[in-house]
Structure 1
Amino acid sequence: MKSLSLTLLLSALASPALAQDLVPQTFRINDLKTNGDACPQGSTTINISEDKEAFTVNFSQFYVQKGPGAEPGDKRKFCRAVFDTEQDANWEYAVLAVNVRGFVQLDDKVVATQELQFGTRGIEYTAQKQFWGPTVEDYVHGEQIAFGNGRWSGCKPKAADRVKDFVVKSTASLTGGGKNASGLMTVDSIDGALVQSYELVWRQCGDKKAKFLATCQVTGNNGRTVFVKGMGRDESRANQKAYQHLQERCAKVGPNFGACDQSLAQCSVMKF
C-alpha cells in the first residue's frame, strides 16, 4: 500500500541566517497516538523538515473504495491522530491554510467526500471537499483561514506548558452510483502520498520588530486552489518565501489542475 502523508508547513525566510529570528531554533514532534480503521497501529510516521517549515505525517493504509470486490466497510474510513508539538520558549504558531493532495477515481454518479478537522487545543477548524464521478485525477485543493481567525498555539515559558496536543481527524467516504458502481479515493500517483499541507505562521512573543506575511493563491481547473504563505522582515523577502513555497506546491500538482506557477499567482502582503 502506498503512503498517505500529512504535511504541515511553517513559513520562514529562504536563507537560514535571515530566518533565524522568524522561526524557533528547536521544533519537535512527540508522542504520536492514532486510532481508526484508516491508520492501524504502526502505520503512521512523522518527519520534520530540516528548515522547520514542514512536518509530514505519513499514513500507509488510508484509502476508501466501493464496487465489485470491495468490503462493505471500505466505503468509509476514519483516522484520529494526536501528537505533541514543542518549540523553544516564547514561540507560537497558527494555521493559516491547508492544501490537500491525493487521487480519486469515480464511476458516474459516485460521490467522494473528504473531511478534515484539526486544531492545537481540540478541534478548531473543519475543511470539506467533494468530488463527483465520472472522474480520474490526481487532485489538489486548498482552504484558507483569515489571519484574524487563526488561533495561536500559545506562548509559555516552561517546557511542559509549551507542549500542545495537535489533533487531526480525517474521514473519507464514497456514496451514490448504485451497488455496482466503483470508486476509489487514495494516495496520488505523483509521490505516493495523500498529503495534507498546513501553512503556518510563527511569531516570537514580545518581538516588536516589523514582520510581513505574504499570501498567494493559484486557481486551476474546476476551481481547484493552492494557497501558500511566506514571512519576512520586509515585503520583498516575504514575497520571495511565498513564491518558493508556491514553486514547491506547483511541482506536485497533477495535469488535471492546469497551469500552476508564479505568473498566475494572486498575492497580497500584510504587516503584523
Structure 2
Amino acid sequence: MPSNLFYRMASIIQLLLSLCALFAVLSQALPVDVEDRELSPPKDLTIDDIVYGGTGCPQGSASVQIAADGKSFTARFKSFSAELGTGSLVDSRKFCQLNLALKAPVGWQYAVLATNFTGAALLGSGTKASHTSTVYFSGSTNQTAFTLPLYGAAKYIYNIQAASVVGGAAWSPCGSDTALNIKSELSITGTGAGEIIEFGESGKLSRIFELGWRKC
C-alpha cells in the first residue's frame, strides 16, 4: 500500500502527468476494428493454467480471474514496487510475468485491446523511473509494449488507460491454444534515490485487461 506521502502529492502534477500520458497513448495507439470490440464473446472461455513469477510477484502473490461476461480478466497482486538508494540493485528493477493458458473455443480468436494501471513515484535529482507493460503470445515475435517514463526530481501520481496499445491487433492464432504472456516492469536508474509503486483502489493492486473477440 502506498505511503501517506504519495497521497499528499500536488493535484496539478497529477493532472499534467495524466494529460501527457493520455497524449502518449493516443499517439501510439493502433487501430482496432469496432466490430471486434463489440462482438459478443463465446460463453465457454476458460483458463486452463496460470504460471507466474519474477522479482515483483513471488509464488503465492498473484491470481487471475475472468469476468462472467468474458469481456475482460483481472490480475491481482499483493505488492509491486521498486526503489533506488536504500537497498540492493535488485530492488531497483522489479518485474512480474504472467503466462496464461487461456482456452478459446474452436473458431474464435481473442486479443487484449486495453488495460489500465495506476501508480506513484517519488524521484530524487538525477533519477529516472519507468513503468512498462508488454503483451505477446508464446512463439510470436510480435510484442506490443507501452512504457511510461518519469524523471526526477519530481513527485507523480498517474492512472494510465492504455487502449489498443497493450495487445493491440495481436490476435491469438486460430486452431491452437497459445499461451498469453503479460510482463510488467518497474525500474529506477540514476545517481539519486527514489521509489516507484503500482497500486489500485483502496490500496488493492489489480489490473484489468479488456478482451476483444472475432471469428477465425
Q: Settle same-fold status: TM greater than 0.5.
A: yes
Corresponding residue of 2:16: none
Structure 2 residue aligned with 1:82, among 99, 102, 108? 99
Match of 2:153 among 134, 138, 152: 134
Partner of 2:188: 174
Question: 1:117 Cα shift?
Answer: 2.0
Q: Does residue 28 of structure 1 match 2:46?
A: yes
Q: Describe the shift of the 1:191–1:89 C-alpha distance in structure 2 as closer, same or farther (beyond 3 A).
A: farther
Give the residue type in structure 1 aligned to 2:146.
A
Does residue 1:60 correspond to 2:78, yes or no?
A: yes
5 Å matches for 1:44-193? 44-68=62-86, 70-121=87-138, 122=140, 124-145=143-164, 150-156=169-175, 161=176, 163-178=177-192, 181=193, 183-188=194-199, 190-193=201-204
Residue 203 of structure 1: aligned partner = 214
Q: Could you say which structure has the greater relative contact order, defined with CA pairs below 8 angstroms and 6 or more residues apart?
A: 2
Instruction: Please give the alpha-carbon distance, in whole angstroms, between the structure 1 residues aligned to 2:212 and 2:114.
Output: 10
Give how far 1:40 is off: 0.9
Q: Residue 138 of structure 1 contacts residue 188 of structure 1 at CA under 8 Å; is this kept in 2?
A: no
Structure 2 residue aligned with 1:237: none
Residue 62 of structure 1: CA displacement? Answer: 2.0
Letter in 1 for 2:188: L
State the one-letter code of the partner of 1:59: F
- What CA deviation, in whole Å up to 9, does each residue of 1:59-106 have, x standing for no partner? 2232101234x3332111122221111132212112333433222222
Whole-angstrom CA distance in 2 between matches of 1:51 and 1:167: 22
- Go from structure 1 to structure 2 and tell me whether the alpha carbon gap of 1:28 and 1:191 turns closer, same or farther (over 3 Å shift): farther
Pick closer, same or farther for the CA change 1:175–1:194 going to 2, 3 Å: farther
TM-score calculated relative to the size of structure 2: 0.70
AA aligned to 1:131 is: L
Higher CA-based Rg = 1
How far 1:150 moved relative to its partner?
Answer: 0.8
* Distance in 2 between residues matched to 1:55 and 1:95, nearest whole Å: 10
Which runs of 5 or more residues in structure 1 are unaligned?
Answer: 3-10, 14-18, 206-272
Q: Distance in 2 between matches of 1:25 and 1:111?
A: 44
Identity of aligned residues (%): 29
Equivalent positions of 1:229-248 (< 5 A) are none
Q: Alpha carbon RMSD of aligned pairs, Å?
A: 2.9
Change (3 A) 1:164 1:204: same
Q: Distance in 1 between matches of 2:152 and 2:200?
A: 19
CA distance in 1, matches of 2:78, 2:200: 14
